[in-house]
Amino acid sequence: MSEKKHVECTHVTGKVRCPMCRYTKTGRLIRNFHGTDVVLAFSSYLPRRERVALQLITLQTDGALGEPFAVCTVNLPDDKLDSDEVAIKNWSENEQILDWLVDQGVVEVPHRTVRSGHIDVPICHLLIHRNEVVPV
């Protein structure tokens, strides 16, 4: 009897598919955010497209991409962010998004915050690369 080897999930390494995860027909990892099946999508903030924007997109019953479900990040144009950093929108309707993104292996726990108006915006290192998630 051969012993099964542990295989890391694609959402952690970006290299192999996890047999315990679900995927769309086009190979996108299907994630579950509080009862809703979503996929993680990359975009960029204008005007220079240097900053990463993360969104959650719903899935239609046939597996095709549906509507935007949540915008996970905010743009802080007046603040310096490294190319691997993202500013997470973790307030209002997004209150639990930071913990979810950390649990999903998308970002590290915040290493600093930036003040924006009356909110302290958590800044995290991105753990996955743009080429690991198909852009919208």
**Domain range summary for the chain, segments of one domain joined by +:** 22-132
**pLDDT above 80 for 123:** yes
pLDDT bin (cut points 50, 70, 90) of residue 97 is very high
Q: 107 CB contacts (<8 Å, ≥6 apart)? A: 86, 88, 98, 101, 124, 125, 126, 127
Q: What is the mean pLDDT of residues 1-9?
A: 40
**Do residues 34 and 95 touch, judged by C-beta distance below 8 A?**
no
C-alpha span between 2 and 75 (Å, rounded): 50
Q: Say what the pLDDT of residue 42 is.
A: 85
Q: Say what the pLDDT of residue 130 is.
A: 60
